Amino acid sequence: MKLTISIQLKPDEKQAKRLLNTLEKANEAANAISEQAWDTRTFQQFKLHGITYHWARETFELTAQMVVRIIAKVSDAYKLDKKRQRVFRKHGSIAYDDRILRYQTDKVSIWTLKGRETIPFVCGEYQQKLLQFRKGESDLVYRDGKWYLFAVVDVIEPAPDEPDDFLGVDLGIVQIATMSNGEAFAGNTVNNVRARNVKLRAKLQSKGTKSAKRLLKKRNSKEVCFAKQVNHHISKRIVQTAKAQGQGIAIENLMGIRDRVRLRRRQRSTLHSWSFYQLASFILYKARKEGVHVEVVNPRYTSQTCAECGYSCKANRRTQSQFLCVGCGVVANADHNASKIISYLGRAAVNRPYAVSYQSARLEEQLQCPAL
């Protein structure tokens, strides 16, 4: 499984300046190469290399590997469509391969226009452990005055056992996630932040000034950050719970959520589906790392089927939170009931003769994220 980890570089003032100059020069080169590609209608990497490589090296005084990567980046950018000239941001990220970037325990040796620089970096214990699985290129990223390297690591997944019991997870808005063991994660903190921001956004957008736009951007990224933190926490807890109990995890594919959220306002709905997709993805990749089996189930009728007697009827779901079975009279929390049904569906999925065995690539597909 491939993961991207980020480490933060701690250059001194002089080094930071050199990194910045290098980044700007590389993007300048990318734009010049993009212009040539556009003017001559040459988009294929090999051909583009033929007409721009020597010229770019002389003009921009970049190292060979970097020019090769920049040509690849330009060629890649035209893959999507060739209808408009691609322009790269002045401080867009650039790729470094092993010849121009070397990792040591707590520092990197990195190529700049003024020669190599040895720059210390910081990262968490977890990232440090993963760094040994690093493969291929890293991206040098400049964001809000700070320097990062984004590295791709290839982690070997432990093969998960096929469990006979599943922890069902129901996703929702009022309760972000409810597990079939009864534990739930309330959505009110996230929802409150979101609601506050929706109001603020409307106010700031109507103002339209530069400072209002800046503030808007800041608020948005803060909200995304916060939701991500919450999703990390929830997914971790879910995977740990399943692992401790020797269970697999059953989650619903996200089409069901779209149907539930669709009735709400559009903007809110995209935010929610995006966040659900993130949560589901976090669950998938954490489960993989821990060797926990995941089944994605079709959520149809989960909200109206009784987990006690199996009776399925629309009238069973009384309100958003209350479930009252017409068949057997059981009263339950609706989300908890749904998570139990999802747990049964997970078990049914493994037990059926044509059960799809654990395939990482398929799981994302099965999630069917509506927002992406």
Is 311 an interacting residue with respect to Zn ion (CB under 5 A)? yes
Is 308 an interacting residue with respect to Zn ion (CB under 5 A)? yes
Backbone angles phi, psi at 106, to 5 degrees: -130, 20
The secondary structure of 351-368 as a DSSP string is HSTTPPP--HHHHHHHH-
Scanning 38-46, 94-102, 216-224, 305-313 for contacts with Zn ion by CB under 5 A, the matching segment is: 305-313
Beta-sheet strands, E only, within 180-321: 184-186, 248-252, 294-297
Is 325 an interacting residue with respect to Zn ion (CB under 5 A)? yes
CB nearer Zn ion, residue 28 or residue 308: 308
**Minimum separation from the CB atom of position 302 to Zn ion (A):** 14
Q: What would you measure as the largest C-alpha separation in the chain, in angstroms?
A: 81
Instruction: Work out the burial of residue 217: count CB atoms within 10 Å of its CB; fewer than 13 is exposed, 13-18 middle, 19 or more buried.
Output: exposed
CA 192 to chain centre: 23
Which of 1, 64, 225, 309 is close enough to bind Zn ion by CB under 5 A?
A: 309
Q: How many residues does the chain have?
A: 372
Which one-letter DSSP state was computed for residue 52? H
Which of 87, 113, 174, 327 is close enough to bind Zn ion by CB under 5 A?
A: 327
- Smallest Cα–Cα separation from 171: which of 306, 342, 350? 342
Which of 48, 176, 238, 306 is close enough to bind Zn ion by CB under 5 A?
A: 306
CB nearer Zn ion, residue 215 or residue 330: 330
- How far apart (Å, rounded) are the C-alpha atoms in residues 282 and 276? 10
- Let me know: does 193 contact 207? Beta carbons within 8 Å: no
**Minimum separation from the CB atom of position 306 to Zn ion (A):** 3
CB nearer Zn ion, residue 87 or residue 324: 324
Is 150 an interacting residue with respect to Zn ion (CB under 5 A)? no
Number of shown-chain residues binding Zn ion (CB under 5 A): 8
Is 312 an interacting residue with respect to Zn ion (CB under 5 A)? no
Is 356 an interacting residue with respect to Zn ion (CB under 5 A)? no
Is 301 an interacting residue with respect to Zn ion (CB under 5 A)? no
Q: By the criterion CB under 5 A, which residues form the site for Zn ion?
A: 306, 308-309, 311, 325, 327-328, 330
